[in-house]
Chain A
Amino acid sequence: MNVQNPLPAFRPFVAAGAAAQKPLDLVEVRYRPLPNAGGDVLLTNPFGDWVFVTQGEMSALVRGQLDDGTPLHQKLAAKNFIRSKISVETEAKRLARKKRFLAYGPNLHICVVTLRCNETCVYCHASRADMDQVQTDMSPEIGEKVVDFMLQSTSPGVTLEFQGGEPLANFPVMKHIIEYAVQKNRAYGKQLDFTLVSNLGLMTEDKLSYLVDHKVQICTSIDGPEALHTKQRVLVGGNSHREAARWIERINKKYIELGLDPTLYHVEALLTTTREALKYPREIVDTYRNLGCRAIFLRPVDPFGFAKKTAGRIEYDRREYHDFYRTAVDHILSLNAKGEEILERYAAIFLTKILMDEDSNFLDIRSPSGSAIGALAYNYDGSIFSSDEGRMIHEMGDDFFKIGDVRTSKYRDVMKHETVRALVLASIRETQPDCNVCTYAPYCGIQPEHSYRSQGSIFGQMRQSTLCSVHKGIQDFLFEKLHTGDASTVDTLKRWTTIRERSHFIQSSAAS
């Protein structure tokens, strides 16, 4: 199956034939003729700079015609494409700054406090268990060991993210872990925060008061309009969408009562884009707006958990996803043009790299990936995995990504585990055919678990990778928007790169 986006047929090297040659003073350049850029060609360099040239300019470049003082030379020199005009020291510092995440270990620690779940979802990533399967609950002792392990990370900041199943099904242990972590962190002084990923179906006023009092950030899943959401997420004896919507409203109100800025403090929601969802790009965006969400993450369905079994019903050609993405984000941009502030997360991640020359350390889109060295997942029984995707693959019967156990493993041994070394090597862009010459390499990243699950190898083949197709399609779209030069659009895209820290959720590490 061809999963890549079709590009315009523009073959400057073929056209130049024997006259083709590399200009001597040009740095390594990758080019991409975008589908909707009026024939212009995007150039990028390894430092992350980019520029558009016309097909005529590109044809001149491939013939080695790049004289000093010409407009083309000046345009390329201004963007660090001319070797003699760049400072090697400055560029080295830029790259080191963008790779600074390499100096630290995992900052995201996903704690699966139970596999039990009150909802049944068509794409369930987590391989859920029924509500009576209490043997899949994490014990308080295992929870303490998870915290002890997490605090050994070399990262100065750690986020403990509670997942499931439905984490609220094992709320007493979750509370115990929170209190134990806050107390233990007094000796470590790390920047500690907690996140709960919940369908909110088991939320109560008491639980909410505890979570708000203990500054736990709350995230949920919304698949779109009520009919779509309830079709994909079945809550026995209830309406999953109404329950989630009711609690989102209640939680957001609670934040306002605390005097928190509602534009920054509100429930975050995640979308899983199924085949059915592709029909409703605008309606999904509008559902998020109506729930008070300021951000939407248009994630395609993953091949993990139950999603693999139900792929025949919920999977789709990634070119259909590209159309969905473009329609949805165009709708979001038109809302922004009318003064409404809402952003798309995929776009924000890439734009931060493209426009701000920064790396926001999103673990699935960086090189090397955040598998193990950026994130760890702890199963209810204390098993440690290189990521939550690796844990899901374990639940499907494959222990490839299991790298330790909180009861017996030492932190440094886990970080030096042979699987971790392999994951790092497999997710460095410069080891990967296609990525090594890709125009989008400076901004992109590989997720080895996705390659393993969908292609049978952590190295994968990008030509057949649906994730590569998604990343390329989104970046094509964003660069086309930047190419228009439309002031309103470009201003909006720049605004999406602004990172506002939610400092309220950071726990105090001072002794009380």
Chain B
Amino acid sequence: MSESTDLAVSLGAGTISFEIDGSLYPQDALYGAAYVFLDRCYVLLDRVSDNRVRVLLRGKTKDAALDGDALAGEFQNELLGQTWRRKIAEDNRSLIEAITARALGGAAGPPGLDDLLEMDVGSETAFDDPLGIAMSWEEKYAKGKSDAAKTAKDAAPADAAPAEDPPEVTP
């Protein structure tokens, strides 16, 4: 037997269900809100139609009286909070990144001798030059440009910055 309120449908046995409009909320926010409930509930997200997502929450402790409306309302507020935080973080991304980098960099300071000594520089890797930094401009771009550049790029690790394009040269 089910019982309906504005916020949710109670399915009995400590289980509630409600639908949300998926076009209003980013999927990450939906996952984030669901995650907050993992300690208290079993959570199921199910797509009902293109823009409708059904949320099912079942309390983990059977004997606990489940206030379905409160749980649904808390989930919906959390979903709105996660969505709004995400938007604010996107809007202020440059400022947040600048402050964070400055704060952590200022607090940690530059690496000391001990840090440098601990870096993974072995005899086999000490002279690697994956970005072609030690190469002359001519070696890298002018003579056999495509081969040299290709070698440098091929050798670069996946997370390294891409090699710069050669500068424009005016005769």
A424:B100 contact, CB within 8 angstroms: yes
B88:A433 contact, CB within 8 angstroms: yes
A154:B100 contact, CB within 8 angstroms: no
B85:A105 contact, CB within 8 angstroms: no
B89:A412 contact, CB within 8 angstroms: no
Q: How far is the CA of A428 from the CA of B112 in the complex (A)?
A: 28
Specify the chain B residue showing the minimal Cβ separation from A372: B107
Given A372-B107, A412-B115, A415-B107; A431-B102 close (CB under 8 Å):
no
Chain B residues 62 to 89 lying within 8 A of chain A, measured CB to CB, are 81, 84-85, 88-89
Say which residue of A367, A415, A459 sits within 8 Å of B108 (CB atoms).
A415
B109:A433 contact, CB within 8 angstroms: no
A412:B84 contact, CB within 8 angstroms: no
Q: Is A106 an interface residue (CB 8 A)?
A: yes
Specify the chain A residue showing the minimal Cβ separation from B87: A433
Given A154-B109, A416-B108; A431-B89 close (CB under 8 Å):
yes
B106:A459 contact, CB within 8 angstroms: no
Q: How many residues of A contact B (CB 8 A)?
A: 28
Q: How many residues of B contact A (CB 8 A)?
A: 21
A431:B103 contact, CB within 8 angstroms: no
Q: How far is the CA of A421 from the CA of B84 in the complex (A)?
A: 21
Q: Is A361 an interface residue (CB 8 A)?
A: no
Q: Is A48 an interface residue (CB 8 A)?
A: no
Q: How far is the CA of A104 from the CA of B96 in the complex (A)?
A: 18
Given A431-B85, A433-B84, A461-B81; A415-B100 close (CB under 8 Å):
no
B109:A373 contact, CB within 8 angstroms: no
The secondary structure that dominates the A interface is loop
Q: Which residues of A lie under 8 Å from residue B108 when comparing CB positions?
A: 105, 154, 411-412, 415-416
Given A425-B96, A461-B81; A412-B88 close (CB under 8 Å):
no
B107:A373 contact, CB within 8 angstroms: yes
Q: Is A76 an interface residue (CB 8 A)?
A: no
Q: How far is the CA of A208 from the CA of B34 in the complex (A)?
A: 57
Q: Is A103 an interface residue (CB 8 A)?
A: yes
0 or 1 for each of B87-121: is its CB under 8 Å from A? (1 = yes): 01100100110011011101111011011000000
Given A412-B109, A424-B104, 15 additional A-B pairs, CB 8 A = A104-B106, A105-B109, A373-B104, A410-B114, A412-B108, A412-B111, A412-B112, A416-B108, A420-B107, A421-B104, A424-B100, A425-B96, A430-B95, A431-B92, A459-B85
On A, residues with C-beta under 8 Å from B are 99, 102-106, 154, 367-368, 372-373, 410-412, 415-416, 420-421, 424-425, 428, 430-433, 436, 459, 461
Sample of 13 A–B contacts (CB below 8 Å): A102-B99, A154-B108, A368-B103, A411-B108, A415-B107, A420-B107, A428-B100, A430-B95, A430-B99, A432-B85, A432-B88, A433-B81, A461-B81
